[in-house]
Amino acid sequence: MKKIFIFASIVSFFLILIYRDNINYKDKNDIVPKRSESTLVLNDFNGVTMTVESVVDTKISVLINNSADDPVLFGENYILEVKDGQKWFSLPVNDDIMFTSIAYELEKGSSFPWSTDFEILYSKLPDGHYRIIKGFNIKSQLETHEEYFVSAEFWIL
């Protein structure tokens, strides 16, 4: 009985691996991804800026600068938004995505080069006007749990 259970478990595991792409399959032609209008308040903290250094295929590199009086903390998480007309819209994120829980500390007067492959989180993006948004906290105010957001715009052509 124990051998049958082990054999059935192994077969089930391989079937899941083989057919996992068909589970919860969504035909991209049938479903328009839901997007919501952006409500984030951006660039409201003087001293922290972000500029796009490069966008190559699905990889984006930015430079985060801190000229504020306090060190700031940020992580790997980010948001991409697309501009449609005069409004910005948050892009839907692929299913089953998680971020590594890393905290970067950026001292006053320093810069940090950061990059990511956005295809993992958002798939390949069509041509358009986008912005990347990263949240950060002020190290001396961690007990307030207030998060600020900085953004940088870029184009995919």
Exposure string over 112-125, b if 16+ CB within 10 A, otherwise e: bebebebeebbeee
Which is more confident, 28 or 74? 74
Task: Quick: pLDDT tens for 51-68.
Answer: 999 999 999 999 999 999
Task: Quick: pLDDT tens for 34-54.
Answer: 678 888 888 778 899 999 999
Task: Quick: pLDDT tens for 85-129.
Answer: 999 999 998 887 776 788 899 999 999 999 999 998 999 999 999
The mean-pLDDT minimum among 28-32, 92-96, 137-141 falls in 28-32
Q: What is the CATH number of domain 34-156?
A: 2.60.40
Q: Are 72 and 137 in contact (CB under 8 A)?
A: yes
Q: Are 111 and 63 in contact (CB under 8 A)?
A: yes
Give the pLDDT mean for 25-35: 44
Q: Give the amino acid at 143.
A: E
Task: Quick: pLDDT tens for 68-86.
Answer: 999 999 999 999 999 999 9
**What is the reported pTM?**
0.74
Domain layout of the chain by residue ranges: 34-156
Q: Which residue in the block uniquely carries the two structure tokens 């077969």?
A: 11
What pLDDT, on a 0 to 100 scale, did the predictor assign at position 6? 35
Q: Which residue in the block uniquely carries the two structure tokens 């957001």?
A: 149
Facing residues of 81 across strands? 90, 131
